[in-house]
A and B are shown apart, each in its own frame.
Chain A
Amino acid sequence: MRRNALLGALLVALAVVVAACGSSNNSSSSGSSTSAAKGINVNGPGEGKLNVVDWEGYTDPSFVKAFEQQTGCQVKSVYAGSSDEMFTKFTSGGGGQYDLASFSGDASLRAIKSGAVAPVDTSKLTNFGSLAPQLQSPPFNTVDGKHYGISFMWGANVLIYNKDKVSPAPTSWSVLYDPKYKGKITVPDNPIQIADPALQFFGQQNPYAISQDTLNKVVAKLKQQRGLVRKYWVLATDFEQLFKSGDAVIGAGWPLMTNDLRKAGMNVGEVIPKEGVTGWSDTWMLSNKAKHPVCAYKWMNYATTPKVQKQVVAVTGYSPANTKTCPLLGKTECNDLHVTDPKYYSSIKYWQTPTTPTNYRQWTDAWAQVKG
């Protein structure tokens, strides 16, 4: 009798494995990984390695070293300049080259829909409960009740200017179209940039769902700007070099650059102009073919602890997802970063992948038209 039970259990296990294989062949479904994730012992020893593709500053040595010492997982990270680059790197060669990516909202849904990422077991994510409520199950990383990763940092695309060269302080995005700063402007070399003028000058409250007509108007506006732009930046370091060498005095960037430039002794200002801002909300996502899932879970847990979140803030100037970071940051900085302010959070138009009425291919083509 006992023998039969054992045999039955074996058969059931076999059936589960077969079913799992079937669905992973399907590649669009990720059901197999949920069961795989359940079997992971995140407290056990790691695989010794962790490959990630992420944004600049997200794997800074100032907190990665301690992680490597604690867990024995050696972190190898590659920076991406845009969401598309991150997505392409992550999925190239069938995926599996990277265990984790720090996808923004415009890439995270693409990653989920294409089956490149696996759902995570939130019971194994030690800091999940202390994330800001709006970041626990946001639509860009939670689909059909399944959580694909853990929210990490968020922030706005801001206007950055050299205080020694630009005065008075700008309050409007229109300075980036002002001939006064011809040859001194830098903006991202990124098709998602189309959303900015759509929101700021053409009144599109959802700047990621714009008509062909609006897209044409935006392209005309951006072509005007093209003549004033010194250089379209790709990596944050490009932006910073342009500012340091004086080749640019004003531009659209991330708080990371303001932080870095101030550390380098430059007198730069950062503004959230009155027309509103686009932004990003990033999630650590686990590859469906992760070779080092234990290390990946260890990283997701480590990176969302209040202590490390504070260290990421120090490097990037972005807002942390974990509200328990606030006591460590102090009241002023916590308020400045709007960590526990859902109203401010919802005022930012977070990056999304445009699908309709104009889709992302049309945006990349339009961007190519702008650059010429």
Chain B
Amino acid sequence: MSARISRVLYAHPRGRLGLLLGPAVAWLLVFYIVALVLLFMTSLWQQDVFTAKLIHKWTFDNYKKLFGEGGLWMRIYGRTVLLAAIVTLVDIALALPLAWFMGRIVPPRWRTLMFLLVVVPLWSSILVRIFAWRTILGSQGLLNGFLMDIGVISHPSSAFLYNDDAIALTWAYVWLPFMVLPIFTALEKIPDSYLEASRDLGGSALTTFRRVIFPLALPGIVAGSIFVFALTMGDFVAPQLVGGGSQVLGGAIRDRFGVAADFPFGAALATLTLFTLVVFLAITRRSGALENL
């Protein structure tokens, strides 16, 4: 029986391909494409404010609201994109030296351990990692204790927690592994001979970094940036736990679905997020960095 099946499949390469890809494509269609289409359609619908029932009548009101209301939602959008950009840049700045150390300075037999140390935090719940920052930055936290011990401040400062800076710091920490790993992979692959050639030709350390290392690390940087930027754009956990009052896109979307029972407007906000990520991907694609991945 199985011999017959394999004979049939051997004779029909298209059928073979269909069987192999079918489940994956079906999965993608149902849980990804259909979900996206539904999301977009919801953003063009309305919802009864009292009973929370969706009204399937087409309207552009949700998108008008996005750009109206005294610019409120655009401010939230701008704040989120800015935070995502800052977090991405901070993570690049932190990850480059760290990945260089891991990939080129540490002896190869220790590299697996280094790799593990970077990945280990990902094994714990993101909530725990965010809460850790609350105990570090809070009024009775480690940072305040330290600053008071060395005499920089006399009273605990409340400037470290429950604001946008705390959100940015927490994000930069929790997403750092997603930046370190691709850069590590890129840097590890650079042959020593390239660096020697640069030095032989009289290139200073800076020139070598600028003309040799950075271009070769760029695919890793771009891959890491895509991860970090996308994760930041959609997150609502960190803002809720360490943020103050000002909203970010992820939190605003969560509120629209989970609190305000205003799914259509939440869907419009989510569409805006997706659109931003598509634009970001298009820019990185045009830079050509993706082809080197």
Contact = CB atoms under 8 A, between A and B. Distances in A.
Interface of A: 82, 84-85, 87-89, 91, 110, 113-115, 183-184, 191, 226, 229-232, 234, 241, 245-247, 353, 355, 359-361, 364-365, 368-369, 371-372
B202 interface: no
Given A246-B139, A246-B156, A369 B69 contact: yes
Contacts of B76: 372
Contacts of B243: 231
Contacts of A365: 69
A114 B53 contact: yes
Contacts of A110: 50-52
Contacts of B69: 365, 369
B51 A361 contact: no
B138 A371 contact: no
B247 interface: yes
Contact of B51 (A114, A234, A241, A247): A114
B245 interface: yes
Interface of B: 49-53, 69-70, 72, 75-76, 134, 138-141, 156, 158, 161-162, 240, 243-247, 252, 255, 257-262
B163 to A, nearest CB: 9
Nearest to B158: A183
A368 B72 contact: yes
B244 A231 contact: yes
Instruction: Give the top 5 A-B pairs by smallest Cβ distance, nearest first.
Output: A114-B51, A364-B260, A361-B49, A84-B259, A246-B139
A359 B262 CA distance: 13
A368 B139 contact: no
B259 A232 contact: no
Given A247-B162, A364-B259, A113 B51 contact: yes
Given A114-B51, A230-B158, A246-B140, A371 B257 contact: no
B244 A91 contact: no
Given A82-B259, A110-B51, A361-B262, A245 B247 contact: no
Nearest to A83: B259
A325 to B, nearest CB: 33
A87 B138 contact: no
19 contacts: A87-B52, A88-B258, A113-B50, A114-B50, A115-B51, A230-B158, A231-B245, A234-B240, A241-B134, A245-B138, A245-B139, A247-B138, A247-B162, A361-B260, A364-B260, A368-B247, A369-B69, A371-B245, A372-B246
Contacts of B247: 368, 371-372
B238 to A, nearest CB: 13
Given A247-B162, A369-B70, A369-B72, A232 B260 contact: no
B65 to A, nearest CB: 8
Contacts of B255: 364, 368
Contact of B257 (A82, A88, A91, A246): A88
A113 B257 CA distance: 20
Contacts of B161: 247
Given A246-B140, A247-B138, A361-B49, A87 B261 contact: yes
A229 B50 contact: no
Given A87-B261, A368-B252, A229 B245 contact: yes
Given A84-B261, A226-B245, 6 more contacts: A84-B258, A232-B244, A246-B156, A361-B49, A364-B260, A371-B245
A230 B162 contact: yes
A1 B75 CA distance: 79
Q: Most chain-A Cβ atoms within 10 A of its Cβ — which of B70, B75, B255?
A: B255
A102 to B, nearest CB: 17
